Amino acid sequence: MQDWTATVHGEHSEQEVLRVERLLELNHVEYTHIEEKNPDTVRVELTPSGGGQTVIVNGFDLGELTAHLKLNTYTKKDSYDLVVVGSGPAGMSAALNAKTLFGWTTLIVEDNAPGGAAGTALNPINNYLGIPAGTKALDLAHTWMGQINAAGVEWLPGCRATAITQIEDPRKTGTEDSSLYPTYKLAIQRTDGKGPVDLYAGMVLIAAGLKPNRLGCTGEEQYLGRGVYYGTLPTDIARARKERVIGIVGAGDTASVAAILLAEEKAKDPAQRLQVAMFVRGKFGKDTIPGNVDRVREYVDRQFITVHEGTEVFSCLGKDRKLTGVEFGKTGHPESVEPLDLTALYVLTGGVADTQWLQGIGLRIVSDEDVKQRRYRKAGAVITGGIDSKLGSLTTTGVDAIFAAGDVREGAVRRIAAAVGEGGAASLDMNAYLVTDGTWQTAIKEGTALYKYYEATAPRNLGSVAVLGGDALAP
């Protein structure tokens, strides 16, 4: 993966500049900012870290910027052995194991940036084995990205899966690039709106994680990315000194940590204008770690944070494509609101499993009634394992050749280490799917190296993983 440095020219408070800088940070591109007061000028100068010709990009065209950064390693194969939807730790781990253990042609589809929600965590990652000193979430995600690129996993950024359909007769698709006959077609929509992509896959791993909850209020979509955000990044904290009032919707640990870090910036210079306003639908502290509650209340006492309990945001206000404030009021009472000037609003209220695009293929999805009856915890999540599954293993869904791992799976634990483990388990579940009942004989094209591999190893590799072209490993 090419390393770049960037210089961003433009007025620092301009929302288009902020959008560009967020994209660079999410993709681990180091940048500096040069203040220019002309709001119509957002220019990015990209220079390869090892030296080379500088590329100048109009920052308003994020698609062009992404192309120049060479983030896309998608080679447009007519089909893949495995398509992974989502690039959190579960998706990346599964892709890495699939490629290095079994040699499957593997593609990751991602609509945002490497690492998913885990890659944008504000707090240092200090509970991951092997990194005793801790590390930044973005640094960890960048390491994963470099590793999967080196392994030959392909990467399709800025794209979102919108539908999946089963192919009636995989042998008649006429595809040549994969060793497995494609059993599914995925409809992929580019986030820049420049056209859909169809992907054919022999197996599919759903690792799409959680889709951020939205407010559903007036103006939210209009100012999305221009003052309204669904996650916070380290640069948001560093930039906060230049802001006035920053709003946070939510009262959980993610929202509380963001508020605390912003207040700490204020504490470094109490004379600065920065203030934090938290909007909480109920009572603050109900679903938050006690230590975080205490820290927030400490900064409330110092008047750095204001907590508006029993309130919700009913509309986002703006001018010249920028968010300038919100209207909020008592929860459930939009008829009586009051305005508050804001320079940014972070909606940090958790998320729901991103599974709406999976309708119609027989997956077991947790319903609202399931949650109400306490059969499962998370509406919209994919149910895996269990007696209905052919294998009964961790990530199998009961639908042939479709697997699920990470936050999108019912019962998943929201820890990076657990997600990495699930990704590894998913690759072994896929291998077991091919081996059990001799599925590989009809799923893999005869004459391919992969067919010969399973022909030689299938009788024994359900109990041990034979690396394609390498040594046997115990799972």
- Report pLDDT for 269: 86
Residues 419 and 66: their CA atoms lie apart, in Å, by 27
Rg (CA), the chain: 24
Amino acid present at 265: E
Amino acid present at 173: T
Residues 361 and 231: their CA atoms lie apart, in Å, by 31
Q: Which residues of the chain have pLDDT under 50?
A: 463-475
Which regions of 207-258 does DSSP assign to beta strands (E)?
A: 210-212, 228-229, 245-249
Residues in the chain: 475
Strand-pair partners of 402: 204
Q: Which CATH architecture has domain 214-349?
A: 3-Layer(bba) Sandwich (3.50)
Query: 290-301 vs 253-268: helix axis angle to the nearest 10?
Result: 40
Residues 129 and 148: their CA atoms lie apart, in Å, by 19
Regarding beta strands 322-330 and 55-58, do their DSSP bridges make them parallel or antiparallel, or are they unpaired?
unpaired
The set of residues, in sequence order, having a beta carbon less than 8 Å from that of 201 and lying 6+ positions away, is 79, 80, 81, 82, 83, 107, 178, 182, 183, 184, 185, 186
**Closest-CA residue to 175 (of 448, 370, 424, 393):** 448
Would you give the DSSP letter of residue 194?
S
C-alpha 194: how far from chain center: 21
Q: Is 187 helix (H, G, I), strand (E, B) or coil?
A: strand
Structure tokens at 371: 């949650």
Please determine whether the domains at 4-68 and 214-349 fall in the same fold group of CATH: no
Superfamily the domain 4-68 falls into: Glutaredoxin (3.40.30.10)
CB-neighbour burial class of residue 31 (10 A; exposed 0-12, middle 13-18, buried 19+)? middle
- pTM for this one? 0.84
Which regions of 301-404 does DSSP assign to beta strands (E)?
A: 305-309, 311-319, 322-330, 337-341, 344-347, 351-353, 402-404
Q: Is 3.50.50.60 the CATH classification of the domain at 80-211+352-473? A: yes
Cα-based torsion angle of the residue sequence 331, 332, 337, 338 in order, rounded to the nearest 10 degrees: 10
Structure tokens at 36: 């220019």
Structure tokens at 170: 């995989």
Which regions of 254-310 does DSSP assign to beta strands (E)?
A: 275-280, 305-309
Domain spans, the chain: 4-68, 80-211+352-473, 214-349
